[in-house]
Chains A and B, each alone.
Chain A
Amino acid sequence: MNKKTLERWSPWVLLVITLVVWEGLCRAFNVSEFVFPSPSRIWQQFMEFKEVIAGHAWRTFWVTMAGFGIAIVVGVLLGFVIGSSRIAYAAVYPLMTAFNALPKAAFVPILVVWFGIGIGPAILTAFLISFFPIMVNIATGLATLEPELEDVLRVLGAKRWDVLVKVGLPRSMPYFYGSLKVAITLAFVGTTVSEMTAANEGIGYLLISAGSAMQMGLAFAGLLVVGAMAMVMYELFSYIEKHTTAWAHRGSQGE
């Protein structure tokens, strides 16, 4: 096997090794499934409850996507504003940093008061947790413009808007796609956390109810599904990133 194929298969190999060791340890020490279920037990429960899990997973998926969609719109707009104006940057950035430091799970009870139990808090938690990286990356992309290039354009009578559209936005695209990859995984975290306390449906709810019924296999199966969904979406955005901003991923630019 050459180095490249090894590299490509390495995550799968690691996964298989982990599963084998996990299974082995559970069997060797006869660990109770109420404490730590073995992979085979999780798989068994997964197959047994697959329709239930699928229903909850679908709910979590579209709620996450809704929150993520709002995050993209708000993140891009805010990023555009603070990246294109120094005063807006100075005014907004410290507040945003402070806001980002707050644990988003702490918002869930407040959101429940405002929107009740259900999709409202879940969508908003997903949004709150994932818009920040998008905003920061758009702003960074816009703000890092070479002064020489700006001179070249300004002397031609370019308005701030021209510079933003012709140079700033295309330049921030790789940052944007990079941030989507981070944001989508965060959005799943937000949805799941919110569903754990403020929903009657979704993977978060499933985790709580499976836990309280001591169905540890089912709870782990739920975790598995969230992880898998986040990973698929991550790979999707990674693919889009590579194919739309190829220029940012090749050789040096000689700058």
Chain B
Amino acid sequence: MSEAFVDFQNVWLAYNEELLAQNHFAVEDINLQVKQGEFIAIVGPSGCGKSTFMKLTTGLKMPSKGQILVDGQPVTGPLKISGMAFQAPSLLPWRTTLDNVLLPLEIVEPYRSSFKQKKDEYVARARKLLQTVGLGGYEDKFPWQLSGGMQQRASICRALIHEPKMLLLDEPFGALDAFTREELWCTLRDLWTEQRFNVILVTHDLRESVFLADTVYVMSKSPGRFVVKREIDLPRPRDLEVTYTPEFTAIVHELRGHIGAMRKDGAAINQ
């Protein structure tokens, strides 16, 4: 596929008019082409505009300059073909896990208008999805009865229930312990392998980005720019074992080097 699915053309964003007037941008001159079904990860120091980048992609924020095309169409407002999940699972405590996962279908068209008639079908779909992430048997439990990892699985299900073409994850595994995190990497890998939606994963865990993504972008801090693009050519399917191979470690090291260099530059400027 030659046509890019997500296409950023010289995108600049200032948070408000005042900052724009001062030429103070949260992200600068972003050029990015993501192929259909590609899994990309964005890494960088905290506060470098990674989350801003997500808001731009989903149309929650409009760029100050430049243009964003998704699926060939310019982004003009919230993009319903995307699903989002964040570090906090933010499930609704008065709804069961199943009802939490169904929430997007109550809101997004075309599901919304047919929600009452086709409820059984949707419930079946949600149950199946929960099953695939290992939450079978927990559908009728409330979020506060689940562990942190389980809540995050449910949160990802909620992001995927309306079969989005694009999944945006903002440090989704940041609050989990190392073992649970690796389990969820595999869950995400399997979901993606099966459904081949686009994924944009924002993270500060380099191992996570290298393990999961096809391409890793390194972002610099103030101004938020993409400074490095690294294709990850490790063969798929990738197993957790791959994270202990020298090739894997070499890539992680290389990326770490870029971030380290950036931090040093940043410190030099500050002096």
- A152-B84, A156-B80, A253-B144 given as contacts; is B93 within 8 A of A166 (CB)? no
B88 A146 Cβ-Cβ under 8 A = yes
| Interface assignment of A51: CB less than 8 Å from any CB of chain B | no
Q: Which residues of A contact B59 (CB under 8 A)?
A: 155
B104 A245 Cβ-Cβ under 8 A = no
Q: Which residues of A contact B55 (CB under 8 A)?
A: 151
- A156-B108, A254-B89 given as contacts; is B94 within 8 A of A245 (CB)? yes
| Interface assignment of B66: CB less than 8 Å from any CB of chain A | no
Among A148, A171, A173, A251, residue most surrounded by chain B Cβ atoms (within 10 Å)? A148
| Interface assignment of B97: CB less than 8 Å from any CB of chain A | no
Chain B residue nearest to A153 in the complex (CB): B107
- A152-B158, A155-B59 given as contacts; is B144 within 8 A of A252 (CB)? yes
Chain B residue nearest to A157 in the complex (CB): B80
| Interface assignment of A227: CB less than 8 Å from any CB of chain B | no
| Interface assignment of A154: CB less than 8 Å from any CB of chain B | yes
Chain A residue nearest to B151 in the complex (CB): A254
B41 CB → nearest A CB, Å: 19
A155 B148 Cβ-Cβ under 8 A = no
Q: A176 to B82, alpha carbons, bound, how many Å? A: 34
| Interface assignment of B101: CB less than 8 Å from any CB of chain A | no
Among A149, A151, A173, residue most surrounded by chain B Cβ atoms (within 10 Å)? A151
Q: Which residues of A contact B159 (CB under 8 A)?
A: 152
B78 A156 Cβ-Cβ under 8 A = yes
Bitwise, A208-252 to B at CB < 8 A (1) or not (0) is: 000000000000000000000000000000000000010110111
Q: How many inter-chain contacts with C-beta < 8 Å in the A-B complex?
A: 79
| Interface assignment of B205: CB less than 8 Å from any CB of chain A | no
| Interface assignment of A24: CB less than 8 Å from any CB of chain B | no
| B interface, size bucket | 35 or more
Q: Which residues of B contact A254 (CB under 8 A)?
A: 89, 143-144, 146, 148, 151
B100 CB → nearest A CB, Å: 11
B84 A155 Cβ-Cβ under 8 A = yes
Q: A245 to B142, alpha carbons, bound, how many Å? A: 13
| Interface assignment of B58: CB less than 8 Å from any CB of chain A | yes
| Interface assignment of A17: CB less than 8 Å from any CB of chain B | no
A208 CB → nearest B CB, Å: 47
A245 CB → nearest B CB, Å: 7
Q: Which residues of A contact B78 (CB under 8 A)?
A: 154-157
| Interface assignment of A167: CB less than 8 Å from any CB of chain B | yes
| Interface assignment of A116: CB less than 8 Å from any CB of chain B | no
Q: Which residues of A contact B151 (CB under 8 A)?
A: 254
Q: Which A160-208 residues sit within 8 Å CB-CB of chain B? A: 162, 166-167, 170-171, 173
| Interface assignment of B90: CB less than 8 Å from any CB of chain A | yes
A165 CB → nearest B CB, Å: 10
| Interface assignment of B138: CB less than 8 Å from any CB of chain A | no
B90 A152 Cβ-Cβ under 8 A = yes
Q: Which residues of B contact A155 (CB under 8 A)?
A: 58-60, 78-80, 82-84
Q: Which residues of B contact A255 (CB under 8 A)?
A: 88-90
Interface residues, chain B, with chain A CB atoms under 8 Å away:
55, 58-60, 78-80, 82-86, 88-90, 92-94, 103-104, 106-109, 142-146, 148, 151, 158-159, 162, 170
15 intermolecular pairs with C-beta atoms under 8 Å apart = A152-B85, A153-B107, A154-B78, A155-B58, A155-B60, A155-B82, A156-B162, A157-B80, A157-B107, A173-B94, A253-B93, A254-B143, A254-B146, A254-B148, A254-B151
Q: Which 8 A-B pairs have the closest CB atoms?
A: A156-B108, A148-B86, A149-B90, A247-B93, A247-B94, A253-B144, A155-B58, A158-B107
